[in-house]
Chains A and B, each alone.
Chain A
Amino acid sequence: MKTLGLIVSIIAGAFLMYGTIDMPDWGDPNSPASIHVSPRYITNAATETATPNIVTAVLADYRGYDTLGETVVIFTAGMACILLLRRRKDVRKARR
């Protein structure tokens, strides 16, 4: 089982290494991630949101619904933890 896991992870890593041949170079200013959406945020964040920190502007203004969903994720995780770890009184009585 352990050797099988090692073989599977090495094969998956080899495929991912093969995929990096097509990735943009490290620190390339003209990489696809840097020329498509983010220039609009960088140039318009100050005039549209009046926030100097562009990360904050994108997080809370442009992608506010994303942050709302994030809080839903936190809430769901917290509720799941409470429901799992709560010790119910009737169960404890039944065990005795």
Chain B
Amino acid sequence: MDFIIAKYNYWIYIILMMIGFYAMISKSNLIKKIIGMNIFQTAIILFFVSIAYKKGGATLPILTHADAHGEHAIQVAGYLNPLPHVLMLTAIVVSIATLGVALAIAIMMYRKYHTLEEDEILKAIK
């Protein structure tokens, strides 16, 4: 039981990630593939944010006192891990960039072949 409580967050993100992966590899509509890619990236972002969490009264990584001496000395256990938050800020930007380029390519495909279904595009290419 302790094992399930300690690890279930990872399992939720794995299930979400595999939903996105399945959509990416087996849907034939290009927009559905792009949505699957976004679900995949969101699962990774949630995974990293959950790594940052610390049990036992940790607050957000914003310092409350400018004077870091005496009774206001900074306790490392009192603040969440800031690094995964920073990395996921970058990952959100990258996911927006890939989404934009993917949608632009989908628009180009639609202009040229007048469909977004993968099998019809393959037929048109042949």
Which residues of A does B touch, CB under 8 Å?
Answer: 1-2, 4-6, 8-10, 12-13, 16-17, 20-21, 23, 25-29, 31, 33-34, 37-39, 41-43, 45-47, 52-55, 58-59, 63, 66-67, 70, 73-74, 76-78, 80-81, 84-85
Closest to B14 in A: A16
Cβ-neighbour of A85 out of B61, B93, B107 (below 8 A) = B107
Contacting residues, chain A, for B10 (C-beta < 8 A):
17, 20, 23, 26
CB distance from B57 to the nearest CB of A (A): 10
B63 touches A52 (CB 8 A): yes
Number of interface residues of B (CB under 8 A): 52
Give the dominant DSSP class at A's interface. Answer: helix
A77 touches B86 (CB 8 A): no
A77 touches B61 (CB 8 A): no
CB distance from B95 to the nearest CB of A (A): 11
Which residues of B does A touch, CB under 8 Å?
Answer: 5-11, 14-15, 17-18, 21-22, 25-26, 50-56, 58, 61-64, 66, 68, 74, 76-77, 79, 81-86, 89-90, 93-94, 96-98, 100-101, 104-105, 107-108
Contacting residues, chain A, for B14 (C-beta < 8 A):
13, 16-17, 20
Closest to B18 in A: A13
A10 touches B18 (CB 8 A): yes
A25 touches B25 (CB 8 A): no
B82 touches A33 (CB 8 A): no
Whether A12 contacts B61 in the complex (CB less than 8 A), given A38-B82, A38-B83, comes out as no
B89 touches A59 (CB 8 A): yes
A29 touches B58 (CB 8 A): yes
B6 touches A42 (CB 8 A): no
B9 touches A26 (CB 8 A): yes
CB distance from A50 to the nearest CB of B (A): 9
Contacting residues, chain B, for A43 (C-beta < 8 A):
74, 76
